[in-house]
Amino acid sequence: MQFTITGKRLEVTPPIHQYAEDKTNRFPRLFDRIQQVHVIIDKADNHAHEEVEIIVHIEHAAPLIASKAGPDLYACIDDAASKIERQLRDHKEKLRDHKH
């Protein structure tokens, strides 16, 4: 699994990078066909809040995308990661039910 993190109008510090990587490293336990995880962190124009978008590319499927905006960057990463985890569980369940 390839992991990339990008900051728009914001410098991604090592603690932010490590936190995002730790949160996304749980994804392969839920679904093993993940090819790439891309985290985009964007600072809003008025600098009042950050926006986090997580894009997960899966083998033979459309990418899963989750976004969250708020004043606390770490909480946004948590919420977006939770959304992706739910989408991964739903996708895996859909594949499992389709085969049987």
Domains of the chain: 2-99 (3.30.160.100)
- Look at residue 81 in the predicted model and tell me its pLDDT: 97
Whole-prediction pTM: 0.92
- Look at residue 34 in the predicted model and tell me its pLDDT: 95
Residue with tokens 């066909």: 33
- Look at residue 64 in the predicted model and tell me its pLDDT: 96
User: Among 84, 97, 71, which Cα is nearest to 34's?
Assistant: 84
User: Among 49, 40, 45, which Cα is nearest to 75's?
Assistant: 49
Percent of the residues in the chain that have a pLDDT greater than 70, as a whole number:
97
User: Among 81, 80, 83, which Cα is nearest to 25's?
Assistant: 81
